[in-house]
Amino acid sequence: MIILSRPPPLSSLPPNPRIASPAPHRFSSSSSNLLPPQCQTTERGHEFETGGTFYRRESAVGRDLGVLAASLHKRSSPQLRVLDAMCGCGIRSLRYLLEADAEFVLANDANDDYRSVIARNLSRVSDEGRWLVSSNEANRIMTECYLKRDFYDLVDVDSFGSESSYLRSAMNCLKLGGLLYVTSTDGYSSGGHRPHHSLAAYGAYVRPMPYSNEVGLRMLIGGAVREASVLGYRVTPLFSYYSYHGPVFRVMLRLNRGKLLTNRHYEFISYCTKCGHSQSYSWDELSKLSCTCNKEGGSLVVSGPLWTGPLHSASYLTEMSNMAEQLGWMGNGTGTDLQKLLQLMVDESDPKLPFGYIKLDEVASRAKINSPPLRTMMSALQKEGYAVSRSHIATNAIKTDCPMATCIRIAKEV
Ligand SMILES: C[S@@+](CC[C@H](N)C(=O)[O-])C[C@H]1O[C@@H](n2cnc3c(N)ncnc32)[C@H](O)[C@@H]1O
């Protein structure tokens, strides 16, 4: 008779010496005694302590958006279980518990020194039971959850740089129909300055393009699309948020079983340095790469494959706005920024708008005129029948389905 013994939990085993920790310096502080004693702060009215943990006030909007999505999920699902894989001081976990009314939150941060700060913060909400603190490497805890068949409704991975190795383990411990909230802070890769690095991390060879902030979001979504398809899943972006501090690229994705419904949205994009026109190419069209302005070629910068589909779901954003209203985050001047952001994202979701945006300064310099005022430019384009929107992703830029050359003609006429 063969007797199968239960293996010990992964967390009790020593780490594989062949696998280097992704970024040990990120979560090792030289001594826990270095954490300053209780440094109190507040966010959305909740008091908590940051100690010497990683906490950025500027990331509060990203946390607001995560809570809104979690609250919507809670409304339509029997329960809300959240895995906060890189929780810092635990402010996200606290907010998922308090504001989204999560049944359970697993708050994990690889830095063991943060454990007591996280636990003190979460004890403000309830006794342990509704939450648990762990100090594991993110891939390790998520893989352990997957192996235990301990699945979550929302997995939040607030990582640094272009660490993408967690994508697969995060998807593995996510329930089907669940939400995956992922982050990249790699502005060098999105700017096209490390194409081999972006290729390794997200499978996309990224070159410098004038709308690099948006490319950063599309690179992250594309990486997740690729990883999901390996597992027989597909992911759909519900919202994509760019924030200049960092920079930070955040995307909320819904995971479903099945392949991408169409491969139309996983493509290459080109930018013509001569006329400023951008275009997308499916894999089958790669041999046709050229710009109409320059038949000899040589003027195209090409990046990809990237996600070229919608960055947001307009209907989902509308539900998020309604939820923000219910939470009292809109109006009265207090939630003005969030309100504006959600509205801009809805505007950006017009399916007629292609990828990329046009900086008004570039229009001005190509047309050799002063920068046209945003409103004037927009209404001129709308009068000509183009779809046009401002973009939250770049200031002084518009998203439009108007090719650059026509833009310049219109700008001259303004
Ligand atoms: C951007 S901070 C998190 C901030 C937090 N989510 C918030 O909203 O305030 C990233 C955190 O991840 C932790 N960390 C870095 N690499 C990690 C890894 N591989 N596994 C788990 N935690 C990690 C760091 O200690 C740090 O606290």
Q: What is the rounded CA–CA span in Å between residue 291 and residue 196? A: 25
Q: What is the pLDDT of residue 7?
A: 45
* H-run or E-run covering 202: helix 195-202
CA 5 to chain centre: 41
Q: What is the rounded CA–CA span in Å between residue 413 and residue 399? A: 19
- Our answer on whether the CB atom of 61 is closer than 6 Å to any ligand 1 atom is no
For residue 141, how far is its CA from the centre of ligand 1 (angstroms)? 13
Instruction: Report the chain (414 residues): mean pLDDT per 10 consecutive residues.
Output: 44 50 45 58 96 94 98 96 98 98 98 96 94 98 98 97 96 98 97 98 97 98 97 97 95 93 86 90 92 81 96 98 94 76 95 92 85 89 94 91 79 62
- Our answer on whether the CB atom of 180 is closer than 6 Å to any ligand 1 atom is no
The pLDDT tens digits of the residues spanning 99-135 come to 999 999 999 999 999 999 999 999 999 988 999 999 9
Location of structure tokens 């998807």: 171
Most informative mutation of 27, 57, 95, 173 for ligand 1 (most atoms within 8 A of CB): 27
Query: Among candidates 52, 50, 51, which has minimal Cα distance to 92?
Result: 50
User: Residues 410, 412, 414, CA angle at the centre, nearest 5°?
Assistant: 70
C-beta separation of 82 from 96 below 8 A: yes
- Taking the CA of residue 140 as reference, the ligand 1 atom at the shortest distance is 20
Give the predicted TM-score (pTM) of the model.
0.91
Q: What is the rounded CA–CA span in Å between residue 212 and residue 56? A: 23
- Our answer on whether the CB atom of 22 is closer than 6 Å to any ligand 1 atom is yes
Give 19's contacts (C-beta < 8 A, 6+ positions apart).
none
Query: Among candidates 281, 284, 268, which has minimal Cα distance to 207?
Result: 268
Structure tokens at 386: 């183009």
Q: What is the pLDDT of residue 107?
A: 98
Query: Among candidates 145, 68, 143, 94, which has minimal Cα distance to 330?
Result: 68
- Our answer on whether the CB atom of 88 is closer than 6 Å to any ligand 1 atom is yes
Instruction: Please state the domain extents for the chain.
Output: 39-262
The helix/strand/coil state of 91 is helix
Structure tokens at 225: 């699309």
Q: What is the pLDDT of residue 260?
A: 74
Q: What is the pLDDT of residue 20?
A: 45
Q: What is the rounded CA–CA span in Å between residue 220 and residue 247? A: 13
Closest residue CA from atom 4 of ligand 1: 88
Q: Which amino acid is at 21?
A: S
Q: What is the pLDDT of residue 25?
A: 42
C-beta separation of 136 from 108 below 8 A: yes
Query: Which CATH number is correct for 39-262, 3.50.50.60, 3.40.50.150, 3.30.1330.10, 3.10.310.70?
Result: 3.40.50.150
